Amino acid sequence: MRIVFHGKNAATFHDGLSARLDIDAELACLPDDLTEEHDRHAYARADVVVATGLSSDQPQPSGARLFQVAGAGIDAVDRALLPGTATLCNCYGHDVPIAEYVLGALLTSQIPYFQADGQLRRGDWTFQSGNRFHGELAGRTLGILGFGHIGRAIARIVRPLGVTVHVANRSPVIDPLVATAYSLHALTDFYRDIDDLVVALPQTPATRGLVTDAAFDALPAHARVINVGRGEVIDAEALYRALSRKRIAGAVIDTWYRYPNADEPHPLPAEQPFHELDNLIMTPHMSGWTQGTIERRKDAIADNINRLAAGRELRNVIA
């Protein structure tokens, strides 16, 4: 079986994969830009393509039986370009570190570690004296927009801390961790009833720009927004207005509107000057990127290849 890893991101999952396979296979890592004829040939004749995207500016994987996305998001895959022989699958494994990232963001919003540290280095004991109190998570209500793998992992990690969980989701949610579930048609009520908002939705035509000015108008002024879904689920202009005008207390944003590319390797992550704001923590789409995620995804990718070879049902098939 011929397996290619297309691009730098996908190549992350090459080392150690062959040891997980039950079959003999040829594994090859190909560059992002398939300009060389031998790379284009290898890509076209591969039985399995491990990649993060598929677009019209690259050759098509005409021989593929499995197009395995090396992550959860399929928004960069033009499904119209997949050959009829290929099954499209994705994989997860990132829910644990993303839930921990969200927990850290929530804790940092209540416990001013860095402010207290800076003050104590100057001999200022304000937080110890009782003249200044910090917050706590217990008793707060967290709204999770999107209740898939990530949303469930977040609920599991915050609920034992005394956080009430509300969710808004496309399909109905019945889960003992969830106090109240809303449909996406009742978002105003959802926003009004929470203290903090986590966006954990994928980007689709239906979710793009879903969080607008109306959301920030409905959220309480003390709310903080954490985005670990996709950047464009939150309207960029609306987010910038809400933060710059202090309509909400702050935000922690991990997924963005502009990303590095060959022409611009070090861009700022949006057209708006988010980097000038003092009520925003910016991180470079790193929340799920851990060694644990890599190993779990290697297991999932290898499992699907083994299933393909054995003629068994594949996992995480995108219909």
Is 201 found in the same domain as 71?
no
CB-based burial of residue 144 (10 Å sphere; 0-12 exposed, 13-18 middle, 19+ buried)?
Answer: buried
> What length does the chain have?
319
Q: Are residues 88 and 105 both part of a single domain?
A: no
| Residue 58 counted as domain residue | yes
Q: How many CB atoms lie within 10 A of CB 11?
A: 18
Please name the residue that has the structure tokens 């890509």: 43
CATH of the domain at 64: 3.40.50.720
- pLDDT score for 131: 78
Q: Is 103 helix (H, G, I), strand (E, B) or coil?
A: helix
Q: Closest Cα to residue 256, out of 228, 280, 288?
A: 228
Contact in structure between 30 and 5 (CB atoms under 8 Å):
yes
Q: Are residues 34 and 164 in the same domain?
A: no
Is the domain of 153 the same as that of 266?
yes
- Same domain membership, residue 113 and residue 58: no
Mean pLDDT per segment of 10 residues, for the chain of length 319 residues? Answer: 97 97 97 95 97 93 96 94 96 97 98 95 90 94 97 98 98 97 97 98 94 98 97 98 98 97 94 98 97 98 98 97
Q: How many CB atoms lie within 10 A of CB 170?
A: 15
Total domains in the chain come to 2
Give the single-character DSSP code of 309: H
Q: Does one domain contain both 84 and 177?
A: no
Are 177 and 276 contained in the same domain? yes
| Same-domain status, 106 and 255 | yes
Residues 102 and 199 in one domain: yes
**178 and 254 co-located in one domain:** yes
Residue 319, in any domain of the structure:
no
Write out the residue range of the structural domain in which residue 39 sits.
Answer: 2-93+291-310
Q: Are residues 7 and 108 in the same domain?
A: no
pLDDT at 262: 85
Instruction: Give a yes or no: residue 318 inside a domain.
Output: no
Residue 54 located in a structural domain: yes
